[in-house]
Amino acid sequence: MRKLKFLLLALVIMTTVLPGCSRYAGSSAASEAVGAELLEPVKLKFSMWGNDAQKMMYEDLITEFKKTHSNIDIEIVVIPFADYQQKLSIMLASRTAPDVGWLADRMIPQLIESGQLADISPSVMNDNDYNLSDINPSTLSLFRRDDRLYGIPFSTPPVMMYYNMSLFRDKGLKTPTELYKEGKWTYEQFIHAAKAIAEPDSGVYGVKLVRDWNNWSDALLPLIWSHGADLFTKDGNAFALNSAEGREALQLYSDLMFKDGVHPQPGDEIGFESGNIGMYSDRYSYMSKARAITEFEWDIAPMPEGVTGRGTSLGYAGYSVFDTENSLEAVEFLKYITNPTSMGVTSQYFVPSRKSVLDSDVFMNSASQPSAESIQLAVLDQMSEARIAPGHRNWQEIDVKIQTLLDHIYTQSSSVEKVLKQMETEVNANMK
């Protein structure tokens, strides 16, 4: 049956490249009839780590997809980001992996090298209607190997600072946006504002840099880079954070929690949406929660500037097709959710990789808040200088090792200096 299905799919796909013929995507009654009457039912699994609002968005996209692919059912599998790579590895090993799913930047090299992703280049490169050239070329580099392509990015956001405008006004402070426009938005001003806003006895904190206590890199990389430090050496073969600059950055992070008391301590799940956080660093995807806030005014701004710039990290997430028996159908779904119309829909939460969507009113004016000016300042203007987090073929082990050693700072059982020395020893052992 699978052989018949592959032959039928091949016949339909051939019509997409022959002059005057119909496309499989459902542009004619003939192609829809083939999909509805001749192809056997298929059930795909689509994995993600997003929130409920994002899941609902994909459910709506799936409903539209089924109008032209009625034989394909799609189940959404939500896995928390902190567990995502480990659970995905287990699923791949047990042959229960999703057919298509989200991948973060640091997951991609390992999965490509292990041969667990499908090459989608024949489908997307030979489809003129898909218009692969509309995808920013620089965003495809992580997924490319020679002439092969293993995924399409859907989110390339710089980290930014969400801030509670109401708390800033109550304390008579200039906002991060105002300071940025004056060229004065620095870590010195950031710390000053955090201390002025914080009332820890009342559960009010000046800043929170952490979305998930098990995701240290999103919280710390902008701080590390802005202070002139780096995680790895330039050749990517050794740990580099055990330096004077690295110690300064990590000490600042520790002091915000334990010395100054302006940052929630480990395990505290208080969120920006509570109204009790002055500043919160996160990516554009947090908009799904921020836009639901009605109790206070908020806005976004770039990260503060350190001795070597803002250290803005560029988030990166893409869709890949895993090497399963349903990879043909999975590629069709991937193409659908990355076409211009679908990416216009997902741009309400994700900074799109398609140039036509990024430059459009669909993205800039997707909601009443934040304003187009704020998006320009905090998102678009920061992307050219932002950096993608470093990766390594053993990233999963390195990530766990660093997180485990950070617990010594979180429990105040060791000094920053000692923790960095231990990190250097143990992480270097995983980089060989």
Residue 379 inside a domain? The answer is: no
Q: Do 182 and 303 fall into the same domain?
A: yes
Total domain count for the chain? 2
Contacts of 214 (CB under 8 A, 6+ apart): 82, 403
Residue 229 inside a domain? The answer is: yes
Q: How far is CA 255 from the centre of its chain?
A: 28
CATH number at residue 294: 3.40.190.10
Residue 380 inside a domain? The answer is: no
pLDDT of residue 2: 47
pLDDT of residue 46: 98
Q: Two tokens at 211?
A: 């979305």
Q: Do 130 and 230 fall into the same domain?
A: no
pLDDT of residue 11: 47
Q: Do 200 and 167 fall into the same domain?
A: yes
Residue 239 inside a domain? The answer is: yes
* Residue numbers in the chain where pLDDT is lower than 50: 1-37
Residue 3 inside a domain? The answer is: no
Q: Do 170 and 268 fall into the same domain?
A: yes
Q: Do 164 and 259 fall into the same domain?
A: yes
Q: Two tokens at 334?
A: 């991937």
Residue 25 inside a domain? The answer is: no
Q: Do 113 and 168 fall into the same domain?
A: no
Structural domain that includes position 118? 41-155+316-364
Q: Do 204 and 300 fall into the same domain?
A: yes
Alpha-carbon distance of 121 to 271, in angstroms, equals 41
Residue 52 inside a domain? The answer is: yes
Residue 276 inside a domain? The answer is: yes
pLDDT of residue 226: 97
pLDDT of residue 29: 39
Q: Do 245 and 335 fall into the same domain?
A: no
pLDDT of residue 386: 87
Q: Do 86 and 181 fall into the same domain?
A: no
Q: Do 281 and 399 fall into the same domain?
A: yes
Contacts of 322 (CB under 8 A, 6+ apart): 92, 97, 98, 99, 100, 101, 116, 117, 118, 330
- Kind plus residue range of the DSSP H or E element containing 221: helix 216-226
Q: Do 220 and 269 fall into the same domain?
A: yes
DSSP strand pairing (72-78 vs 42-48):
parallel
Q: Do 170 and 297 fall into the same domain?
A: yes
pLDDT of residue 38: 61
The model's pLDDT over 387-425, given as tens digits with 9 standing for 90+, comes to 888 878 788 889 899 999 999 999 999 999 999 999 999
